[in-house]
Every structure is written in structure tokens, then in C-alpha cells.
Structure 1
Amino acid sequence: MNPCTFELSSTEGKISVADIRGDWVMGNTVPGFQSVKQLLEKQNCEQLDLKSDNLGHWDSRFVVFLFDLEAYCKGQGIVLNMEQLPDSAQGLLHQASAFPVRESGQKVLHETALLVQIGQHALGMYKQTQDMLAFVGEVCLSSLRLLRGKACFRQRDLWLIMQECGPGALAIVTLISLLVGLILAFVGAMQLKIFGAQIYVANLVGLGMAREMGAMMTAIIMAGRTGAAFASQLGSMRVNEEIDALETLGISPIDFLVLPRMLALIIMLPLLCLYADLMGILGGLLVSATLLDISVVEYFIQTKSALDLNDFLTGLIKSSVFGVLVALSGCLSGMQCGRSSSSVGDAATAAVVAGIVSIVVADAVLTVVYQIIGF
């Protein structure tokens, strides 16, 4: 490698000419900028022309040197002529100078005003609302095509998704529902025992599981388990351009991918809700039999007298609504996924958050509606 040098070879009046020689690459000793600065101060020039006829190989060290030189010349009011430098070096220098620099040399980004940030967030929410409404509209049209028998999806996919959503979730639903029933019975027993009304623990657990906790806890479990899985699956297909391939073939991605997932959750979530109700009642039985000395027969007789078909029906209606919301949240996040691998994780996170929030809001609305209509 040829040694790299920076020499002020000639001076014409107030114009100095710098001859850049050698290979400005790693392994070579680059001239210190302080020594170059001292040379320029001695020349007291108004213009500095750079010659690169004898310049060999160069890398980022050369661009960093030019960057410092340009900053110094600008501060001293010296005109820097770099027309004879390689075009690639000038392009890199232009990119490096595109951002403002602190006095310490660290680059900073332009700070955005508060009102601008508020406006950007408002426009982003408006765009997300538009996309969500458009997606819901497409799903409604797909459902109408299904009723007319014109929806295009494979029945095998529907059965496979139902198996994943239903039997595949029994273990986690069993554990969570049993623990919820235990907690409800234990909390109620501590208060009812004061009044000698321990038998009404059966009423508390039965009504709580049938009307509220069975459907809600099952839906939250499915939002974290199945909703995130839907978002990851569709997001991976978006990254791999499989959804684009379906559109190119004239196959609707809503019919082929979203509709079977939504149908699977609508069918399986009410069944899981009934199963969760049973597990919660059994959890209450464990507490009643061990802590309250209530026999199994007494517990089930009291539960039967406290519950009727309407109580289970309210939970089933809620679970069906929750199934639609979980499916829509997961599929919408997956369909809107970006083209990078990190976007798949972001889509799964967004699906879980949107699913849980929509479940809680829908449960509150349905509870108020049930109270108004006396159901």
C-alpha cells in the first residue's frame, strides 16, 4: 500500500492547492487533521482546491477526513473545491452532511413540534379506522358469499383450524377455569361464612361462571393463544408474498384465509365456554367440600336451583361475539403486517392487545344491554 499524504503543493495568491496521495484505507496511517489544520492556518488562504490525481484506494477513513475538512473550511470562510474528487466520495460526503451535527460531533434528528405530533397521531388513527372498517366490510361481504354458497375456501382448513382452536385449547382452559372457580368460591366463602350462608357459594360460582367469567376468561385465553397465532400465520404469509400470490390467482384472501378462522372461533368458543363453566363449578365444589363442609349433592342441588337456561344462554351469546372479535383482531393484524420479520411479532402483539380490549368493551356493553332488557 502506498502511504497516504496531504500536501499543499502550490499556492497562487489566496488560492491553495492540496495534493491528496496514496491509499486512504485501513492499515495505512491517515494524516492527523490537527497537522492539516496547522498547515492551512499558515497558508491563510481563501480557497482550497483538492487534487486527487495520485489518490489510490480509499474507504470511509477518507470520507471522514473530508467531512472534518469541509466543516473546518466552512467555519473559517474558506471555499473548498472538491470537483476533482471521485464522484462516489462526493456522494458519501453529501449523505454524511445531510443531518445537523452537535458541537460534540454527535448527529441529532430534527425535533417535531407537539402540535405536529398530535396531528400525525390523529391522521394515523384516522387511517387505522378506515382500514379496520374496510376490513370489516370485506368480511361481511365474504359472509354473504358464504350464505349463498359462493365463498372459496377449503373445508379441510376449517376442520384443522377448529381442531387447533377447540381440543388444542382444552388443557389451558381447564387450568384457568378451575382456578377461577376456586378463587370465586374462596372469596365468597370468606364473606358468606360470617352470616352462616356458606351454601350460597354455589350460587355465586354458578352465576359468575355462567354469565360472566366463563365466557370472558375463555375469550381472553383464545385472544392470547389463537388470536396471536392467526396474526403470526397471516403475517408470515404476507412476508412470504403468499397472500399476493392468492390475489394474483384471483382468489380472495378474505374468503380463503379469514373466513374459515372466524367460523372456527364462532363454533368452538361457545363449546369451550360451556366447558369452562363446568370446570369453574367443579373448582367451587372443591372449596365447598374442603372448607365449608358442603356435600357434593348439596352443592349441585343448590347450583341447579340458582341457574336456568337463560344464564347459560347469556354466556353463550357473549362467547360467540367474543369469537368474532378475536378472529377479526387476529386476522386484521396479520393482513396489515409489514414485509419484515419483525413486523410479524408486532402484528401478534397488536392482535392480543386489540382482542383483549375489544373483549372487555364488548362484555361491558352486552352486560348493560342484558340489564336493560331484563335478560
Structure 2
Amino acid sequence: MQALKQSQMSDELSFARSDNSTLVVRLAGDWHLRHGLPEPDLVLKQLDTAPKPARLTFDATRLGDWDSGLLTFLMGVSEICHKRNLPADWSPLPEGVRGLIQLAEAVPEKTGARAEAVHTSLIEALGREAISYARGLDDFLRFLGEVAIAFAMLAVGKARFRRVDLMIVIQDCGANAFGIVTLVTFLVGVILAFMGAVQLQQFGAAIYVADLVGIAMSRDMGAMMTAIIMAGRTGAAFAAQLGSMKVTQEIDALTTMGISPLEFLVLPRVVALFLMIPLLCVYADCLGVAGGAFVGATMLHISIATYLRETAHAITLTDIFGGVFKAAVYGIIIAVAGCLRGFQCGNSSSAVGDAATAAVVTGIVYVIVACGMFAFIFNILGL
């Protein structure tokens, strides 16, 4: 046999020729997936180099530790050899590698097992997303209808749930949420006042910052910011709680005992948010006005008494009750979205996190959509 002629060299993979008819694939070092391994295409390039070899063999004398990365590479080489009808000598490889290769080649690949890349047009992708959102809205409305039936059962005194559960959820949705609502709504009032002051000062109308902040907070911002906070805080908690109960089959146990999960689990949560978000909305309105008064006193040098008097003249009872009504609707939307995603949760621990994420997204999106609808309706009614 003539001496081997070296043709290419790398850390793990190199090639040599024997009698110009045999391509020798030299394997060296450790072959681990985490290190990044050569591609079988490197062998293909050598096979296309003149003179083209008539057979292929291996040199594994310097091969170290290996894992499935080596097998993946060798199966790629085997596929290339089969396509070219090129004989390959696997005997120089370690016994364990040879056994796994023989096992893999003993089972033929199922036709159509490899997924082919599917390229969809932009219009098709948009259509699928629209259908997906429509189905999600349909599920939400169906669940909302079932919750309405549970409310009817509550009205006639036939709903089955524990009063202590309702009080616990009320405490969690109400008193325990004061801290984050205080911080966010006060800062929202500060931001609105600062933005308005920058513009109104140019016209000598700085006092109307009180009107801007008061009307904005009482009509929309107080209710919407409170709803967004509760969607991220409480809606996700509802989804995680119910999702965990579904994974542990507690919801199935309630159904087996003849207890409606909607009445026992969902109704207390919906009632709690329906009652507490309007109260938090009024509290948020006050904190937003306080934030505006802070900017007015420090930046515009308007006394607190003057600022509050101007705010009282600007705000009407229609603004306040309109905001409270919106907050109550937002509360129902958030509770229904959180409970729905919890009931739709899969049967794995990771699905609980996915359900909580979906609950937050659904709740916030539907709250903003409802806010836009309210703005349109109230404008038509002249409110």
C-alpha cells in the first residue's frame, strides 16, 4: 500500500488518500455536541475532489470520548455513501459505534418521516392568525355565558361555593393590591401632569393641568391602569391556581362529586374582582389627582387648595360613575380571562406558566378593546 497522502486537517476531522482510490476519514479528539462538531458536507466535498475515491474507510486511532454527536455525523456520512453507492468500511470504528450504526441502518426510514419546510404566504399567515383570534374570542364568550348562568344561580341562592373562599379572594384582590396600585397610579398622575404642564405653560394656562389630570384619571386612566395592574397581578394568579388544580386533577374531583367547578372556583373570583376593582378605581383616581397636585405644587407653584378646587370644578359625577362602571366591566373581563386560561391549561407543570402568560395577554388585550368600545359609545351618548 502506498503511503497516505494528507489532504485536509482540522482538530476533530481530517482526510487522507490511499492509492488514490480510498478516502480515509480520520477522527481525533473528543466528539461532544456541546463543543460543536464538523458537518458531513465536508466528506461530500472530499468525494467530489479528483481523483474521485472508489471506497471510504475510517481511522479512529486518535478518537477520544464521544456522544451522539459522533453518531449524527457518521449517519450523515452513511446517507451520502448510500446515495452515491459508495462502499464504506466501518470496521476501524469502536465496537459501540459500529453497533449503533448497524442498529440505525437495520430500521429503514419511514417514508415522509422528515418534515419538509412549508412556506406560507403573508395572506395565509394573517388568515390563520385571524381564525385563531376568532376562536379565542368564541371560547371567551362561551365561558362568559357559563359564568352568567352561574351568576343567575347565585342570584336565586343556589350557587355552591364557600363564603370563606370569597372573602380570601376579596382580600387578595383588594387590600393586598393597594401597594402596587398606589405606586403606579400616583406616577401616572405625575406623568400626565408633567406632560400637560410642558405644553400649557406656553399659553399661560398652567392651572388647567388640574382639569387634564382629573378628567383623564376619572374617565379612563384610573380604571384602565387599575385593570392592567390587576390583569398582571390577579389574572395571572387565577390562571396559575386553576391550572395547578387541573394538573393535580382537583377540578376533575369536583366534577366527580357533582360540584360545578364554575360555581365553586370561578364564581368567587369573578365576584371578588367585580366588587373590588371599582373601589380600587376610585382610590386610583384620588392617587392620580394627588400625583398631579404634586407636580402642580413643585413645578407650577400652584397651591394644593387651588389645584383641588379646580379639579373639583372640572370633574362631574358622570365622569366618576362612568369610570367606576368601566372598572366593574374590566374586573369581569380579567377574572373570566384568568379562569378560562386556567381551565384550558395542559397537564404539565410548564403548561401552568403558559396559562398564566396567556391570561395576562388576554386580559390586557380585551381590557384595551373594551376601553376603545366604551370611548366610542360614550361619545355617541354625549357622556
Both structures adopt the same fold (TM-score exceeding 0.5): yes
Residue number in structure 2 paired with 1:145: 153
Task: Decide whether the 8 Å contact of 1:198 with 1:292 is kept in 2.
Answer: yes
Alignment deviations for residues 76-106 of structure 1 (CA, whole Å, 9 cap, x no partner):
599xxxxxxxxxx9997687723769xxxxx
Return the offset for 1:111. 2.5
Out of 104, 110, 117, the residue aligned to residue 111 of structure 1 is 117
Question: Which residues of 2 match residues 176-187 of structure 1 at below 5 A?
Answer: 176-187=184-195
In the aligned structure 1, how far is the partner of 2:326 from the partner of 2:363? 14
The aligned amino acid for 1:321 is V
Contact 1:99/1:109 (CA < 8 Å) preserved in 2? no
Q: 1:228 to 1:72 in 2, by over 3 A?
A: same
Q: Does the C-alpha gap of structure 1 residues 113 and 290 become closer, same or farther in structure 2, counting only changes over 3 Å?
A: closer
Letter of the structure 2 residue corresponding to residue 258 of structure 1: V
Instruction: Return closer, same or farther for 1:95/1:292 CA change in 2, 3 Å cut-off.
Output: farther
Pairwise CA distance, 1:135: 1.5
Separation in structure 1 between the aligned mates of residue 164 and residue 263 of structure 2, nearest angstrom: 14
Q: Does the 8 Å CA contact 1:63/1:92 hold for their aligned counterparts?
A: no
Separation of aligned partners in 1, 2:175 and 2:106: 61
* Partner deviation per Cα, 1:273-307 (whole Å, 9 max, x = no partner): 00000101111111111111111111111111111
| Equivalent AA in structure 1 for residue 230 of structure 2 | M
Counterpart of 2:109 (choices 90, 97, 102) is: 97
Moved more, 248-257 or 264-273: 248-257
Q: Give the Cα–Cα distance (whole angstroms) in 2 for the partners of residues 94 and 131 of structure 1.
A: 48
Aligned to 1:286: 294
- Structure 2 residues not aligned, in runs of 5+: 1-53, 56-67, 88-100
Q: Distance in 2 between matches of 1:118 and 1:201?
A: 43
Q: How big is the alpha-carbon RMSD for the aligned residues of Structure 1 and Structure 2? A: 3.2
- Residue 340 of structure 1 deviates from its aligned partner by 0.9
Partners of 1:99 and 1:225 lie apart in 2 by 49
1:351 Cα offset (Å): 0.7
Partner of 1:371: 379
Distance 1:262-1:91 versus aligned 2 partners, 3 A rule: farther
Q: Gaps (5+ residues) in structure 1?
A: 1-40, 43-59, 79-88, 102-107
1:326-364 CA-partner distances (Å, limit 9, x unpaired) = 111111111100011111111111111111111111011
Mapped contact 1:158–1:260 kept (Cα < 8 A): yes
Asked if 1:343 corresponds to 2:348, the answer is: no
Question: 1:348-367, aligned counterparts within 5 Å?
Answer: 348-367=356-375
How far residue 176 of structure 1 moved from its aligned partner, in angstroms, is 0.6
Instruction: Give the fraction of aligned pairs with identical amino acids, expressed as a percent.
Output: 49
Q: Does 1:311 align with 2:323?
A: no
Corresponding position of 1:52: none
Cα distance in structure 1, aligned partners of 2:249 and 2:204? 65
Q: Within 2, Cα distance between the matches of 1:218 and 1:62?
A: 57
Correspondence for 2:22: none
Partners of 1:291 and 1:62 in 2: CA distance: 71
Residue 133 of structure 1: how far off its partner (Å): 3.2
How far the C-alpha of 1:257 sits from its partner, in A, is 0.8
Corresponding residue of 1:299: 307
Residues 1:277 and 2:289 aligned together: no
Residues 1:261 and 2:269 are matched in the alignment: yes
Q: Quick one: distance in 2 between partners of 1:368 and 1:153? A: 38
SS of the aligned residue for 1:276 comes to: helix
Alignment partner, residue 135 of structure 1: 143
Letter in structure 2 aligned against 1:261:
R
Q: Give the secondary-structure state (helix, strand or coil) at the position aligned to 2:224.
A: helix
Q: Which amino acid aligns with 2:120?
A: L
Residue type matched to 2:249 in 1?
E
Residue by residue over 1:212-247, the C-alpha shift from the partner in whole angstroms, topping out at 9 and shown as x without a partner, is 110010000000000111111111111111111111
CA contact (8 A) 1:233 1:334 kept: yes
Letter of the 1:348 counterpart: A
Deviation at 1:193, TM superposition (A): 1.3
How far apart, CA to CA, are the structure 1 residues paired with 2:78 and 2:198? 79
Provide the C-alpha distance between the structure 2 equivalents of 1:246 and 1:117, rounded to a whole number of angstroms.
Answer: 40
Aligned residues: 305
Contact 1:182 1:286 in 2 (8 A): yes
Q: Structure 1 residues 147, 96: closer, same or farther in 2, change over 3 A?
A: farther
Alpha carbons 2:140, 2:337 under 8 Å: kept: no
Residue type of the partner of 2:116?
Answer: H
How far does the alpha carbon of each residue in 1:156-212 deviate from its partner, in whole angstroms, 9 at most, with x for none? 101100100011110000001110111111111111112222111111111111111
| Length-normalised TM-score, structure 2 | 0.71
Measured after TM superposition, the shift of residue 147 of structure 1 is 1.0
The farther-off stretch of 279-288 and 116-125 is 116-125
**Structure 1 residue corresponding to 2:201, chosen from 177, 193, 197:** 193
CA distances 1:108-145 after superposition (whole Å, capped 9, x unpaired): 52233527877865665565444333322211211111
Q: Letter of the 2:143 partner, please give it.
A: F
TM norm structure 1: 0.72
Counterpart of 1:234 in structure 2 is 242
